[in-house]
């Protein structure tokens, strides 16, 4: 079994991005600038956004963090987005999800200027992705493609089973992996909460991408020998033996599934760090396109 080391791969990517930024600065170019809006004080979201800001520092980007109160009005959030859309200093920005229930997520994401939409969530970017046109790919699927490519995992003609149909991971992943591309050309099946006889599908899978948010859902008896496992899940589980009071669990029963897998991502240290690296890559792309 080979561990797909997202931490190391993302560090390699960040080093590459830092070199590119250095050369832009040396040639008198503009320093890429990423902004992030976070609404409320959800612990996990705050941790993710803090990691994104830290990663910006590491590669030499400017970053701006806009923190809004949990009870902020939708109108005020939309105004903040307009300000970022119109601010030439900002090359790209994200609105950290999930948003509080009183805010219409679709309305928010639709207002982001597609040219600054480094999360790739705007319908323009989703549509362009589906048509295989130049666009910002959503960071988590983009990171998974990068991980598969860098570990030279063959995907052409393979059976890929995706667990979950979310707009952020499952749906885009299914589109990308069926396209003619490296880390593509696969036969893709999307399974979800209404799928009957799930095990029949997972047992046929050469590659499984688990993105359902149910800790340790995928068990060893559900996978075949030598399967490739990509675990997108990252759930905080209360654990009083830990100093911070919780442990992180993926969607895969790592201890047992890893014994059958040829490649597997750990949680943490697998997909998570890749997501951050790809967000930086998209920001660099946004900046170089614009400037």
User: Rounded CA gap, 184 and 123, in Å?
Assistant: 22
User: Rounded CA gap, 255 and 216, in Å?
Assistant: 10
**Is the CB of 144 or the CB of 177 nearer to ligand GUN?**
144
**Is the CB of 175 or the CB of 261 nearer to ligand GUN?**
175
**Is the CB of 9 or the CB of 275 nearer to ligand GUN?**
275
Q: Which residues of 161-193 are buried (b: 16+ CB within 10 A; e: fewer)?
A: bbbbbbebbbbbbbbbbeeeeebbebbbbbbee
* Tokens read off for 8: 């190391």
| Closest separation in Å from C-beta 77 to ligand GUN | 13
Query: Which residue is catalytic, options 5, 91, 117, 119?
Result: 119
Is position 76 annotated as part of the catalytic site? no
Helix axes 139-150, 6-26, angle to 10 degrees: 100
| Closest separation in Å from C-beta 201 to ligand GUN | 25
**Is the CB of 29 or the CB of 98 nearer to ligand GUN?**
98
**Is the CB of 24 or the CB of 281 nearer to ligand GUN?**
281
| Closest separation in Å from C-beta 246 to ligand GUN | 17
The torsion angles phi and psi of 154, rounded to 5 degrees, stand at: -70, 125
| Closest separation in Å from C-beta 52 to ligand GUN | 9
Task: Kindly list the residues in this chain that would bind ligand GUN in the complex (CB under 6 A).
Answer: 94-97, 119, 139-140, 168, 275
| Closest separation in Å from C-beta 157 to ligand GUN | 29
Chain position whose Cβ is nearest to ligand GUN: 97
User: Rounded CA gap, 127 and 211, in Å?
Assistant: 22
Q: Is the dihedral of CA 235, 149, 274, 195 positive or negative?
A: negative
Query: Which residue is catalytic, options 14, 96, 116, 231?
Result: 96
Write down the number of H helices and E strands in the chain: 10, 11
Query: Which residue is catalytic, options 52, 91, 116, 281?
Result: 52
Is position 25 annotated as part of the catalytic site? no
Q: What is the CA radius of gyration of the chain?
A: 19
Is position 69 annotated as part of the catalytic site? no
As annotated, the active-site residues are: 52, 96, 119
């Amino acid at each position: 079994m080979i561990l797909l080391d997202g931490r190391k791969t993302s560090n390699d990517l960040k080093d590459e991005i830092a070199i590119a930024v250095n050369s832009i600065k040396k040639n008198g170019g503009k320093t890429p600038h990423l902004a992030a809006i976070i609404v409320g004080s959800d612990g996990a979201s705050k941790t993710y956004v803090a990691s994104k800001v830290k990663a910006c520092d590491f590669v030499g980007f400017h970053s701006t963090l806009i923190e809004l109160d949990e009870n902020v009005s939708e109108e005020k959030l939309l105004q903040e987005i307009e300000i970022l859309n119109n601010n030439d200093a900002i090359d790209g920005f994200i609105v950290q999800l999930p948003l509080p229930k009183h805010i219409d997520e679709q309305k928010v994401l639709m207002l982001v200027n597609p040219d600054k939409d480094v999360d790739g969530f705007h319908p323009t970017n989703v549509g362009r992705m589906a048509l295989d046109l130049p666009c910002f790919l959503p960071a988590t699927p983009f990171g998974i493609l990068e991980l598969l490519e860098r570990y030279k995992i063959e995907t052409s003609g393979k059976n890929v089973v995706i667990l979950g149909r979310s707009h952020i991971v499952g749906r885009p992943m299914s589109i990308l992996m069926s396209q003619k591309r490296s880390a593509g050309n696969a036969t893709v099946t999307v399974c979800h909460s209404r799928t009957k006889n799930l095990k029949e599908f997972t047992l046929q899978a050469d590659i499984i991408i688990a993105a359902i948010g149910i800790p340790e859902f995928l068990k060893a008896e559900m996978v075949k020998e030598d399967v490739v496992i990509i675990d997108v899940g990252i759930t905080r589980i209360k654990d009083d033996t830990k100093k911070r009071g919780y442990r992180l669990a993926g969607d895969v029963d790592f201890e047992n599934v890893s014994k059958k897998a040829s490649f597997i991502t750990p949680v943490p240290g697998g997909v998570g760090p890749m997501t951050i690296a790809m967000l930086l890559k998209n920001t660099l792309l946004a900046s170089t396109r614009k400037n």
